[in-house]
Structure 1
Amino acid sequence: MDTGNNNRLPTLLKCNFPPYGKDFPGGVATGRFSDGRVPSDLIAERLGLRKTLPAYLSPNLKPKNLLKGVTFASGGTGYDPLTAKLMSVVSVSDQLIYFKEYMSTIKQHYGKRRAQYILDRSIFLVVSSSNDLAHTYIAQSYRYNSTSYPIFLAEAAVKFVKELHKLGARKIAVFGAVPVGCVPLQRTVRGGVLTRKCVKPLNNMAKKFNARLSPALKHLNRKLDGIILYVDVYDTLFEMIQKPKKYGFEVADRGCCGSGSLEISYLCNSFNPVTCSNSSAYIFWDSYHPTERAYEVIVDKLLDKYLSKVI
C-alpha cells in the first residue's frame, strides 16, 4: 500500500531505484514495492479519484493534493509495535498522528466544513499483519506461541480501528492476513531446499489471525456507528498461487526480479542479470510483493465483492 513514504526514512526497506517501477508510468521507481502500481493506487482509480495515490511524506505534496486521498502506509510496518522498530519504518500509531496532521491541514486551507465533508465520505483501508507474522514473530517467540501471537495481533488491529474511529473515520475496510507462507522468500527459507513448498505454520497463523479478527470487527460494526468491514484477501491470493494459469499467470513460486527466491528491496536491483522481461506472467514481482497485474486481479475481485458495502 506504500506509495513512497519509506523514501523519506532511514530504513533499508526502500525501493526507489530500478528495476522497481519498470512498468509504472514513465518507468519511474517511486518507492512502490512492485513493478508498477499498488492496491492503494488501483482502488483510488476504481473509485474515480486518481490513477496514483500520493505518499503523505512526499516532499512534493501540496494541500490541494490531499483532497482526493493519500496513503500513510509504510512498507515493513505492522500491528506489533516491535515490527516498526525492527524495520525502522513508520508505526501504525504514528500513522494516526499523520492522519491528525492531514485533517488539520485540510481544515486550515479549506475550512472545517470541507474537512468534515471529506471525512464523512472517505473510505479508510487498513492493511497490515504480514510483516508481523513473517518476521517479528520469530523475535517474539519467547513471549508468544503460534496461537497467542495471532490473537495478540488481532487485538492490536481492533484497538487501531477503534482509535481510527475516534478520529472520525466512519467507513473502515480492514484487510485480513494473506497466505504469507506462500511468498517466494518464505518458500526458499522455510519451505525445503528442493521442494520450496508453502510454509504451513505461517499460513496457519495467518488463518488464526483472520479467524479472530473477522468476528471482532463484526462486533465493532454492530457497536459503533458507520461501517466497519472485514475484507478476506487470504482465499483470493491463495487460489491465485495454487492455480496461476486460471488467472493468466505462468509463475507463482518465484518473483520476477533476479532469481525471484530471495531478492527484496536493495537485493532486487538493476544489476540482477536475470530479471524477467514479462512481469505480467508472474504473480510476484520480488520475493515478497505481487506484481501490478496480480494486484489488479486481487483488487478487481475484492472490490466487486465488498465495494458496494462501503460506498
Structure 2
Amino acid sequence: MWTKANIPDQSGKTIIVTGANTGIGYETALALYEAGAHVVLACRSMDKAIDAQTKLEALDGKGTLEISQLNLSDLNDVKKFANQFLKSHKQLDVLINNAGVANTGENAPDRPKTADGYEEQFGINFLGHFALTGCLYPLLKATSGARIVTVSSNGYQTAHIDFNNLRSENSYDAMREYRQSKLANLMFAIELDRRIKQSGDSVLSIAAQPGANKTELVRHMTDKEIAIGKERIGEFMEPWQGALSLLYSAVSPDALGSNLYEPDQGGFRGYPTLSTIKENALDQVTATKLWDLAEKLTGVVYLQ
C-alpha cells in the first residue's frame, strides 16, 4: 500500500501543479510541499491561489510555495504563464497537469466554450495542458530526471475522439465531452512519452487517474445525481487519497513512462497501482492525428 509516507525527500525540486487551489490538486501540492519541494500553485483565480497558499503555509511544510495565474481556457494566457516561468526559473522537475473542468449534471452550463472557441472541457483539460507542456518542455528536457504527469479519468474507457465536433458544432453531451477530454489526456501522455523516447530525451511522461473523489468536479450535479453515481460505483474517496495516484506518478522510482496509475479497487477507490490501459487509448493512428491537430490548434509545436 503506497501512501504519501513513501514520498522521497523532494528538497531542491521545483514542481508545478495546475489547479492546485482545491481538491486533488491542493492535496498533491500539500504532500509535495511537506516533502520539501518548491511547489508552484498554478491557478485560474489568484484570490483562490492566495487562499490556498495561506492554508498550506499554516501547515508548515519543509518546502516553499509560489503562486502564479494560469488560465488554461485561454491559450494566450497559457503561453504568457510559460514565458514568465521560463524567465524566472532554471529548472522544472515535475509538471503535473491536474486542472480540469467537468460540466456535467443538471446545473451545468450548456455548451460552454474556451476563449479560443473550443468546447470547454476539451479546451481546458486537454488543449491547455498540451500547450503548457510544449511551452515548458525545453526546461523539462534540461532538468535531470524530469517528469510530466497528466491526469485522466476512468471515463476514458467509453470515449472516442470526435474530430468533427470539437467546438460542439454538431451536437453536445456534457458527459460525452468530458470523457473525450480525459481520453485525449491519456492518449497525449502515451504519445508524448513515445516521442520523448524517439528523440532520445530522458523526460518521463506518465498518466494518472484519481478515481471517484469528493471534489469540485461534482459541483454542477444535484444531490440525486450524486446519489445515483454512488449507487453505481460506491462511496467517493477524500481528495487526499485520490491524489496518491498523481503523487506516485510524480515521485516514485517505480513509475514508468507511458503507464497509467490509478486506485487499486477497480480504478475507483484504493491506493496506487498500475492500470491496464484499454484499446481505445492505444490507437496509434488516432494519437498521431490528435497530436497533429493539437499542434495546429494551439500553435505549439514540439518534439519533431
Higher relative contact order (CA 8 A, sep 6+): 2
**Larger strand share, 1 or 2:** 2
TM-score for both structures, normalised by structure 1: 0.43
Higher helix fraction (1 or 2): 1
Structure having the higher Rg: 1
